[in-house]
Amino acid sequence: MNAVPPVKAEMIVRNARITTLDRQKPQATALAIAEGRFVAVGTDEEVMALAGAGTQVIDAGQRRLIPGLIDSHIHVIRGGLNYNLELRWDGVPSLADAMRMLREQVARTPAPQWIRVVGGFSEWQFAERRLPTLDELNAAAPDTPVFILHLYDRALLNAAALRAAGYTRDTPNPPGGWIVKDHRGEPTGLLLAEPNALLLYSALAKGPKLPVEYQKNSTRHFMRELNRLGVTSVVDAGGGFQNYPDDYQVIEDLHAAGELTLRIAYNLFTQKPKEEVADFTKWATMVKPGQGDAMYRHNGAGEMLVFSAADFEDFRQPRPELPPGMEPDLEAVVRVLVANRWPFRLHATYDESIARALSVFEKVDAELPFDGLHWFFDHAETVSDRNIARIARLGGGIAIQHRMSYQGEYFIERYGTKAVERTPPYKRMLEMGVHVGAGTDATRVASYDPWNALWWLTTGKTVGGTRMYPPAHLVDRETALGLYTKANAWFSNEEGAKGQIKVGQLADFALLSADYFSVPEDQIRQLVSVLTVVGGKPVYGDDAFKPLAPILPPAMPDWSPVNFGSGYFKPDREALHAKAQASCGCASSCQVHGHAHGRADTTATDDPRGFWGALGCSCWAF
């Protein structure tokens, strides 16, 4: 057994199938926690020797237990401010289902509030293989504003949203965007990125905002949703309209109140063209990388370093060429960052953009050595072997996301099936010695669900079912899990502190609804956590483990889609709920599993008789 004696455990989990991702001890059945860290990992007999009178002992029921998942690229701080306002179509299998959800929310939403469907889905996931028409939106919501953001390419606004946002026949097209108008010159409700998505995001920003107290509640619900999926840490990549320090006050207040249930390392994202050097120079006097604690800490700069270096990731449009002035703009910022020893990340979709940025990095490194500074590219869908080698020589990394799972069909349409086989070439990156970590880039495009990302890494499929990558380009399930845990600690400068079930590391883990390593490949997407623990404290529980986690107050406002089941939709899990509700003799009055009835934010156990029966339920609905 690996242990730190002498110690009495505060929590012990036994009878588990533990994947540790520790090469010295890859498997175990039990773990012990004290003072927020793992203090023992081994067999049940070995670990139970550390139990004392006050030890909480949890029987895992032979479930798979993994290190807490870490998302190395997500916009959780910005996303949390609005989560309670959003109707999520993530994972919804048909447009008919999506429109039913929309109509139900229309009936709940009071004026002048909007209904927002903000990313996380693709038309390819729907059985109908299409988006709703504007006529369908107007029929479903004649008076309630509806805004739907689809990937990086378009937004749909019904007539009520057009009026609320103030778009008229006289509204000009912004640079890189198109307000589509009919033959009379009136806006139709279709906004297109060509290729700049700023038009889409600025339209979204016109909607009503939540009061600060509601934003705190909203952020807590978004964190709980991520906890439900087994996520325990994130690296926040900043974002447009996310100004520092003003827009960080909500997350800092939650941290001060001890209400964070995710570990958050945050990057600072410059907000105005030609003011980037001033931003980072000012911020370098205000905050230092690593400042904070294990729950909330500063992580450096990016993903936007300079606006002239930002390429656009809309594969329905031709690749944009970066302007000639990009190199001096980027060099000036990178010099400030390296001189202040700030880690940094840079958004880059295309190999051509990466090549030009690397020339800047190599030039700065020759005069101001990076010397172990953690820096990396985000996305890198079309990066070449030549540029991977250049990244490796500079000690850099690449944070990949499952964006191609949502827009692979568009990439194939433009570039062909051969080109899509290595977009991005993540297995090749690993072979060439680059630091690689996985994430989602949620919430405005791809979904925040880590299991969809793990499914993509191991199958190479789009959410529409298109298989993009040949088997030789895929990684196995354990490697994929490593990219979502241990490897991601590098991206927040926390190597060795988390990402494994290992003595001395932070006690973050997830107990899964089914075995990630043995379920059929398409069932990976249906996984959730039944117990998520951060620093030795349960932050989410379901099934028999539900009483272990604190109760979260209802979402605010009371008409929030979150209160009616909005979240990542897991079809197979929802089928179990429907079966329970239809056949359970005790219905919602059952004290044991009544919480599952009529709720889309809880999950039925894979072995309900074993768990619920042990708790005293006599209805045996399954």
Beta-carbon count within 10 A of 98 CB: 23
End-to-end CA distance of the chain: give it in Å, rounded.
39
- Residue recorded with tokens 């588990």: 16
- Could you tell me the CATH number of the domain that includes residue 150? 3.10.310.70
Question: Does residue 498 form part of some domain?
Answer: no
Chosen domain end from 177, 204, 231: 204
The alpha carbon torsion through 104, 109, 114, 117 (nearest 10 deg) reads: -30
Tell me the residue range of the domain where 593 lies.
Answer: 570-615
Angstrom CA distances, 306 to 215, 235, 344, 575, stand at: 29, 20, 12, 47
- Provide the pairing of β-strand 146-150 with 115-118: parallel
Residues 468 and 356 in one domain: yes
Distances from the Cα of 575 to the Cαs of 227, 409, 506, 578, 622, in angstroms?
22, 29, 36, 5, 12
| 555 belongs to a structural domain | no
> Residue 426: its pLDDT value, please?
98
Q: What is the CATH number of the domain that holds 43?
A: 2.30.40.10
335 and 266: one domain? yes
Encoding tokens for residue 186?
A: 């009136």
pLDDT of residue 7: 79
The angle at the Cα of 441, spanning 576 to 208, to the nearest 5 degrees, equals 85
Q: Is residue 560 part of a domain?
A: no
> Is residue 328, in this structure, part of any structural domain at all?
yes
**Could you tell me if 393 and 514 lie in one domain?**
no
What backbone torsions phi and psi does residue 413 show, to the nearest 5 degrees?
Answer: -60, -35
Number of domains forming the structure of the chain: 4
**Residue at a domain's end among 158, 182, 204:** 204
Structure confidence at residue 239 (pLDDT): 93
What is the predicted pLDDT for the residue at 4? 61
The answer to whether residues 447 and 395 touch, using CB atoms and an 8 Å cutoff, is: no
392 assigned to some structural domain: yes
Same domain? 435 vs 478:
yes
Residue 110 resides in a domain = yes
Where a domain ends, among 156, 183, 204?
204
Residue 416: per-residue pLDDT: 97
Evaluate whether 221 touches 211 at the Cβ level (below 8 Å).
Answer: no
Does a structural domain hold residue 499?
Answer: no
Whether residues 16 and 132 share a domain: the answer is no
Domain annotation covers residue 280? yes
Alpha carbon distances (Å) from 295 to 251, 257, 362: 11, 12, 34
The residue length of the chain stands at 622
pLDDT averaged per 10 residues in sequence order, the chain, 622 residues: 76 98 98 98 98 97 99 97 98 98 98 97 98 98 98 97 97 96 98 94 96 98 98 97 93 98 98 96 97 98 97 93 97 98 98 98 98 98 98 98 98 97 98 98 95 98 98 98 98 98 98 98 97 98 97 98 95 52 39 31 32 31 24
Q: So what's the pLDDT on residue 615?
A: 30
Pair 382, 405 in one domain: yes
CATH at residue 227: 3.20.20.140
Q: Are residues 270 and 318 in the same domain?
A: yes
Dig out the tokens for 266 from the structure.
């945050």
User: Does 288 share its domain with 322?
Assistant: yes
Whether residue 361 is found in the same domain as residue 417:
yes
Claim to verify: residue 107 and residue 158 sit in the same structural domain: yes
pLDDT at 571: 77
Long-range contacts of 332-336, Cβ-Cβ distance < 8 Å, separation of 24 or more: 332/276, 332/277, 333/270, 333/276, 333/277, 333/280, 333/301, 333/305, 333/306, 334/305, 334/360, 334/361, 334/364, 335/364, 335/368, 336/277, 336/280, 336/281, 336/284
E strands of 304-446, at which residues? Answer: 344-348, 375-379, 397-401, 435-439
Measured distance CA(569)–CA(90) in Å, rounded:
6
| Same domain flag for 285 and 318 | yes
Q: Kindly state the tokens that stand for 565.
A: 């089941």
Residue 176 and residue 315 in one domain? no
